[in-house]
Structures are given as structure tokens and as C-alpha cells.
Amino acid sequence: MKFNIWALLFIFLVVYFLFQIRDDLLRRQELVSSKAKLFSRLKEEELKQSTYRRALTDLSSDRKLEALARERLNLIKKGEIAFKVCQ
């Protein structure tokens, strides 16, 4: 009778640990997938950041700032004559 109780207990523990290991493996797979997505998103954000830094650096130069002001605000220099072209 003792052998059957110990064998049953052993089988129960093995099955229990197998399910625990399975759950841990599934959770690990989810974490690995999440990590890959986060690294991908991080790369995208770093690319955006470098683009914004480049744009900010471009705006700090007087030539780029002047060109932007002329284009968007229709500003002219003193002594220039502005023409409006209608189509």
C-alpha cells in the first residue's frame, strides 16, 4: 500500500511540475516576442529622434531659417520687390 501512495504522489508531482514548466515556457515565449516588438519600436523612435535632431540643427543655421521664413511666411528682404503669380 505504501508503494502505491508514493508512486501516486510521485506521478502527481511530475505532472504538476510539467504543467508549471509548460506555463513558464509559454510566458517566456510571450516575453521574447514582446521584447522583439519593443526593440523594433525603439529603433523607430531613435530614427524619429535623429530626424528631429537633424531638422533642429538645420533650423539653427541662418540660411535654412531664412529660406523657411520666405517660403512659409512670404517674407522678403529690404529692397526686394515681391511678385504674386496667379494661375
Q: Which of 45, 8, 84 is nearest to 76 (CA)?
A: 84
Q: Is residue 79 part of a domain?
A: no
Give the pLDDT of residue 20: 95
Using CA atoms, how far apart are residues 58 and 67, in angstroms rounded to an integer?
11
The residues near 64 (Cβ < 8 Å, ≥ 6 apart) are 58
Residue 81 placed within a domain:
no
Q: Would residue 85 count as lying in a domain? A: no
**Range of the structural domain that residue 61 is part of:** 2-73
Domain assignment present for 83 = no
Is residue 84 in some structural domain?
no
Domains of the chain: total: 1
Note the pLDDT tens digit of each residue in 4-23. 888 889 999 999 999 999 99
Domain-located, residue 80: no
Tell me if 86 is assigned to some domain: no
User: Could you read off the pLDDT of 35-84 as tens digits, one per residue?
Assistant: 999 999 999 999 999 999 998 887 788 888 888 888 888 788 888 887 77
Residue 10 lies inside a defined structural domain of this protein = yes
pLDDT of residue 34: 97
